[in-house]
Structure 1
Amino acid sequence: MKHGLPIARPGQVIGLLGGSFDPAHAGHVHITREALKRLGLDRVWWLVSPGNPLKARGPAPLSQRMAQAQGVMNHPRVDVTDIEARLGTRYTSRTIAALRKRYPRVHFVWLMGADNLAQFHRWQDWRGIMTSVPIAVLARPGDRIAARTSVAATVFRTARVSVADARGLGLRKAPAWTFLNVPMHAASSTAIRQNGDWGASAERRSWRDLH
């Protein structure tokens, strides 16, 4: 990284996985690897947020979450970043706008869970996000029906890209989104916190709380 910001070459396709990562766990690692493989991404950036505007309770300190996430995610094509804190953004729409301005020749793909698609219409300027960058929705058991019948999925139904064409998603003009079924574990960041197991081994954790 240069000056705390990740380096990207022109033409690269980079997946953005945003969230509080409170804490990061093996499930985050799992879907990151799946996204790299199935979407043909050059890199994935974890955007460890200062705080989620949709959550009333504040997360653990950013420095703590960054250190823990860096310990969990060890892959040569993945960068764990606090770029939102450095850019001064908290809302996804503003983060994406700032990244596109800073990296004008890079192709970004927003990565999110099916649970987030189900309530995506509550996000600030969600339509703007859909029309700014392609989006890959990674499904976990229990959220698929709600996601597929969500407001966002309905409004942008004609922009959906088939799984067969998902590998080229990053080079498509937005709006473009795909829905990928990815095997998931049942545990969650929420459960880890409630069980007082924030520092548990990453191998025993799974993906849940992406935003």
Structure 2
Amino acid sequence: MSWLRSVASSEEVFDEDVDDISLQNKEWKYNMEKRTQDGFREGIEAGKEASLQVAFNRGYREGASGIIRIAQLKGIMSAIRCWCQVHVPGTPALSSVTDLLQRVERHEDELVETLRRAQQRPPPSLTEMVDDMEELSVGQKSQDIESRCTCSGKDGANEDCSGIVRSKGEDSEMHSYGSSSKIETLKELQKVCLDLVTELELPDELKLHIRQLTGC
């Protein structure tokens, strides 16, 4: 009978070993799945961060290219002003050329300042961009709720509210128009330059060179 008790005892030990192995396998499987998920998550985050960096680098290169083109236009305008000082001094054309040259210089200064700020400030992280988008969404919802609360009431109140909203929209539109009118693009400056070259009857080769600055 002693050997029967020994066999039964060994079976119990074997069952305990099986349970331990099964538990270890489950734990190992859980850890592997967690590591895989963490790896995917880290890979996605790294990919997004890399995409942001690529976009930042591309924007910086485009900005630097814009500075080169505006510098070339400034050189052309300086040469035209020198020509006007020799051939048509004291004329309105010289004043127009000088004014355009100053506008080109201001545009160049704005581009340089923009690139300088971009170089000092690191590109935004993915978390910062998500936070900004969430704040923008919350702000928009708050404005909508406030607008609905203000407009609720009598018919007269509704009419007054619509007038207020409309006036705000008109003010923002006027402000946007005023801001955009102050900021000149390279193409706008290029067009004015071409008009002056035509007015001064300068060679067509100069016009071609000016158009090549923006590929027009």
TM bracket, shorter-chain basis:
under 0.3
State the TM-score, normalized to the length of structure 1.
0.21
Which of the two has higher C-alpha Rg?
A: 2
State the TM-score, normalized to the length of structure 2.
0.20
Bigger share in helix = 2
